[in-house]
Amino acid sequence: MNKKVLWTLFGMLLFVVLIASGCSSDEAGSEDTGDDTAEASDDTESGEDGEKTLVFGRGADSVQLDPSQITDGESIYVTNQLYDTLVRYKEDSTEVRPSLATEWETSEDGLVWTFQLRDDVKFHDGSDFTAEDVVFNFERWATSADFIYYGYMFGATEDNLKGIIEKVEATGDYEVKFTLSEPNAPFLYTLAMPPFGIASPDAVEEYGDDYFKNPVGTGPFVFEEWVKDDSITVVKNDDYFDEPAKVDKVIFRTIPDNGARFMELQSGSIDVMNGLNPQDIEQAESDENLQIIRRPSMNVSYMAMNTDQEGPMGNKEVRQAINLAIDKEKLLTLFEGVGKAAKNPMPPSLWGYNDEIEDYGYDIEEAKKLLAEAGYADGFKVTLYSMANPRPYLPQPKVTAQAIQEMLAEVNIEVEIVENDWDTHLAATENGEHDMAFLGWTGDNGDPDNFLYVLLDKDNAKMGSAGNVAFYKSDEVHDLLKAAQTEMDQEKRSELYMEAQEIIHEDAPWFPIAHTTPPLAASKDVVDYLPHPTGSEPFNFLDISR
């Protein structure tokens, strides 16, 4: 009996060895002649019937495919292909252009917005797109706090789930009217955000809780398959009303390791990737088959100084001195080629950016002079709160904090670094526990309001839930930003924001650090990839030249 078991075991082992060796030699054999795997991947790209497939490699899977319920970039990458918004961002800026809506007008007081809709749009499930569908979607988003971006952008609270949108009505088959409770100039830009993609009401009702796995929109691609943690496949929408897609299929593949993903790109099994290791950028640039695509930045990293205190941080000269005493160019070397120096609280890709402003520059002597004038020639002690983990806008928080510590020691400012994990860091800074703190911001709707008002208006300097962690409370800035919210003319708004940036520069509540441009790497065969500042883009413009 025992002998039998032993022999069976060895028999099995032997069998497996044979199969293994047999298969692998078979494999090697076919490789020599036919290059099997390479052929397979070629198939996926240009198949026998000339079908074009784009394979996009990324580090994480999507969380859900209902854009109204998520905030992660990897979900939005995919939903951008499936849904359309009423208006959309232009391909190369955050200005808006028509999409599902062809034209729109605002009432004099800025409270009523009327949109004319296209009458030739069909959802992927075949149903017609009408004004009622827009109403359905907005009413759905106003039913629960699960619709994160709706609540966040339109100021919904537990008691008022609708936020500033009082009413949405269909005033015709293809006309929809929004009534707001207060004028909101960024409203139009907010509507262009991917979370407000219009979903098919039929599908939402049919799938219920499982809708996020069965997305149905009007976009350039139709959802086909989702293999969790592995891949998501979308195919071309032949009836798309806007620019039709040039590729027939897009596969989003999850390849967690940055290095492995880059090697997949080199071996040709994927066509585009995000999340490139900084050290791989050079290699990609020197590879004749690859190209680097740099996304215009829509973020900012900064060191906020807690202005709402007695003592040094409350003193404007001191804050200016700190701006002068830090060598920004040197800090930027820590960004390994993906960072550009920031001088304003918003990135240059946004309209309304004030390029006239000159940054403080690095000048130790001037810094010392200012400190002496403020009565701090002998220096003082401050805390610098830093997050432990890298953020997209600040790849090496710890080393950056240490560099600033060293530089400020030159002007007798003794910096104590307090490092916390991200959640704790957020809570601590919102509570104003810091003297100085690192933080950053990635824009939502491409409107300057989304940077300046959120991060530097006194309305948002509330202890405990502050977006303005400098606790900067300038009435002048507040008046300008408020005026810009109610002004509907973009040019006039732009002027107001430019002025606000000048005051902010002078008051120096921040030491602005950098805007990062996370690079994508792609095969040279991929043409017309138009990286959008918002972080992802629909793939109907790009093509594969094979």
**Shortest distance (Å) from residue 315 CB to other proteins:** 30
Select 184 or 420, whichever has its Cβ closest to other proteins: 420
> Using CB under 8 A as the criterion, which residues of the chain lie in contact with other proteins when the complex forms?
2-3, 5-6, 10, 13, 16-17, 20, 23-24, 26-28, 31, 35-38, 40-41, 43-44, 47, 53, 55, 60, 63-64, 71-72, 145, 148-149, 151-152, 156-158, 209, 212, 227-231, 233, 251, 253-257, 259-260, 263-264, 266-269, 420-424, 426, 444, 465
Select 263 or 417, whichever has its Cβ closest to other proteins: 263
Q: Crossing angle of helices 364-373/316-325, nearest 10°?
A: 160
Q: Is 543 helix (H, G, I), strand (E, B) or coil?
A: strand
As a residue count, the chain comes to 546
* Spatial separation of the C-alpha atoms in residues 273 and 280, rounded to whole Å: 12
Q: Crossing angle of helices 475-486/449-456, nearest 10°?
A: 150
Select 116 or 231, whichever has its Cβ closest to other proteins: 231
Cα 132 to the center of its chain, rounded Å: 30
Phi/psi region, residue 495 (left: phi>0; alpha: psi -120 to 50; beta: rest), is: alpha
**Shortest distance (Å) from residue 176 CB to other proteins:** 26
* Spatial separation of the C-alpha atoms in residues 448 and 454, rounded to whole Å: 9
Pairing of strands 272-273, 519-523: antiparallel
Select 137 or 233, whichever has its Cβ closest to other proteins: 233
**Shortest distance (Å) from residue 377 CB to other proteins:** 39
**Shortest distance (Å) from residue 444 CB to other proteins:** 7
Q: Enter the tokens of residue 323.
A: 């701006």
**Shortest distance (Å) from residue 151 CB to other proteins:** 6
Distances (CA, A) of 209 to 206, 212, 214, 262: 9, 7, 10, 36
Pairing of strands 175-180, 165-172: antiparallel
Q: Is 340 helix (H, G, I), strand (E, B) or coil?
A: strand
The DSSP letter of residue 337 is T
What are the helix (H) ranges across 165-212?
187-191, 201-207
Select 40 or 503, whichever has its Cβ closest to other proteins: 40
462 and 490 Cβ atoms separated by less than 8 Å: no
Q: Which residues pair with 128 in a beta bridge?
A: 122
Select 5 or 378, whichever has its Cβ closest to other proteins: 5
Pairing of strands 272-273, 87-89: unpaired
**Shortest distance (Å) from residue 450 CB to other proteins:** 11
**Shortest distance (Å) from residue 350 CB to other proteins:** 18
Residue 470's identity, in one-letter code, is A
Q: What is the DSSP string of 134-160?
A: HHHHHHHHTT-TT-HHHHHHTT--SS-
Select 43 or 109, whichever has its Cβ closest to other proteins: 43
**Shortest distance (Å) from residue 144 CB to other proteins:** 9
Select 409 or 427, whichever has its Cβ closest to other proteins: 427
262 and 256 Cβ atoms separated by less than 8 Å: no
Select 253 or 319, whichever has its Cβ closest to other proteins: 253
**Shortest distance (Å) from residue 16 CB to other proteins:** 5
**Shortest distance (Å) from residue 212 CB to other proteins:** 7
Select 263 or 403, whichever has its Cβ closest to other proteins: 263
